[in-house]
Amino acid sequence: MKHQKHAALSKPTFGQYHAHEWGILGAKCSTIEQFVNRIVTHFPQYRMGYLDASHRSGDQPLDVAHSLSHGLHLKVTDHMHYRNWEDAAELNDYDWRIKLRELQLLWINSNHFSANRQIILIDPEKEHSIIKRKERITRIDLILKTSRDARVFEVLRAHPAFDPRIPVHDLEDEGAWLPVVERLLDSTIPAISGLLLVGGRSTRMGTDKAQLSYHGQPQQKYLYALLKNHLDKVYFSVRQDQQLDGPVVRDAFAGLGPFGAILSFFQQYPDHALLSVACDLPGVDHEALAYLIKNRDPARLATAFLNPETGFADPLFTIWEPRIYQRMLQFLAMGYSCPRKVLINSDIKLLEAPNPQWLANVNTPEELKNFKLKLGHGVTD
C-alpha cells in the first residue's frame, strides 16, 4: 500500500479563486464591469465580488510617495461606508481562496484572470481577444452578443467547451438572459443537511437527554424523523466513544461541545449548509423547522433565532452556511470555542421566534419539570 502522508480530509469545491466563479471575456474591460454591475443591481440578495486588474500599462512599481514603498506591509483606510485595503504581499492560490471565502460567488474579468466557468461576450471588434485567451475557456454557461448583428465566432464554435445548447442572447435583452443568470446564482446555494446534537454527557440532567420522551418516543428518534421530513440528509453528532445506530458524524474536535460538533460536520461535508438541533430543545417541531428553513438567508454566514432569555443568537437551533467554517476555525485559533460568540460577531440573519417554546432549553431536572408543567403533559425517561 502506498504511504498516505497527509490526512484524507474532504476538500471543499474550489475553482481558481473561489468555489463559485465565472470569468467574463470577449469585450472591453469597461463593458465587462458594466455587465457585472447590471447583475449586481438585479440580484442584490447575493453576496458577490468582482476580481479585476489595474489597467495601467505594464507592471508598474509603487509610486515613490506610496506608503507601501517605504516598508509598510499593510495600509487600511476606513471610510464611512467602505474601506480600502492595500498590501504589497504576493498572493498564492491559497491566499486568494482564504481572502475571498466569505463571498457567495465571484465574477472575474477574464481579460486578466482565469476562472473555471465562463460567460462570453461577443463583440465583433474583439474576436482577437477570444483567440488570444481561448485556453482560458473551459465551461461556457452563457453567450451574449453586444450587438444584434454579431455572430458567434468560428473559433468559439470550434472550441471543445462550445455546445450548441448554450443560451445565446443579445446583451441588451435583459429579459432573455437574466433568468439564465438567476439559475446560475441559484446553483451556488448549498443544500442543507441536518445535524442532531446528541453527543453531550447530560451531567446536569443525570440521565441521557437524548432518550427523554416528550412526544411519545425518545427525543433523538423524534428529532431525527422530524429533520428527515424536511431535509434529505440528517446525521447524529456523537462522541468518538459513543455507539449509535444511524448516520453519524464523530467528534473530531474533542472537548469543544457544540462548537466541535459543527466543525466536525464541516470537516467531512465542507460544501453543505448545516441545520443544527440540540436534543435538549423539546419545543422544536415541524412549524419551527419550516419557519427557520423558509427564512434562511444564504448570503449571510448563518440564520439564527434571537433567544429572548439570553438576548443573543441561539446557536443550538441554527442554519450555518459552509462559508462560516473558516471563520469558526479562525475564532478557535484566537482561543474562542463558543458558537454563540461567533454568531454575535459575524454577519448573520437574526430571527424572532413566533413561538418562544421553540428555544426552551431543558438541561436539568428542574427545567424538565417546569417545561412539563408549561406543556401540560407528562415526560418520561
Q: Contacts for 91-94 with beta carbons within 8 Å, 24 or more apart? A: 93/16, 93/17
Q: Please state the pTM of the whole predicted model.
A: 0.91
CATH classification code of 192-375? 3.90.550.10
Question: Which residue is it, cell 466557468?
Answer: 117
Q: Contacts for 89-93 with beta carbons within 8 Å, 24 or more apart? A: 93/16, 93/17
Give domain 21-53+81-186's CATH superfamily: P-loop containing nucleotide triphosphate hydrolases (3.40.50.300)
pLDDT tens-digit profile of 13-23? 999 999 999 99
Q: Are 344 and 313 in contact (CB under 8 A)?
A: yes
C-alpha cell at position 137: 475557456
Q: Quick one: the chain helix, strand, coil %, rounded to 5? A: 30, 20, 50
Residue 336 CA to residue 87 CA, distance in Å, equals 28
pLDDT tens-digit profile of 10-58? 999 999 999 999 999 999 999 999 999 999 999 999 999 999 998 766 5
Residue 51 CA to residue 57 CA, distance in Å, equals 18
What are the domain boundaries of the chain?
A: 21-53+81-186, 192-375
State what percent of residues in the chain have pLDDT above 90: 74
C-alpha cell at position 58: 505594464
Nearest to 289 by CA among 278, 275, 308, 300: 275
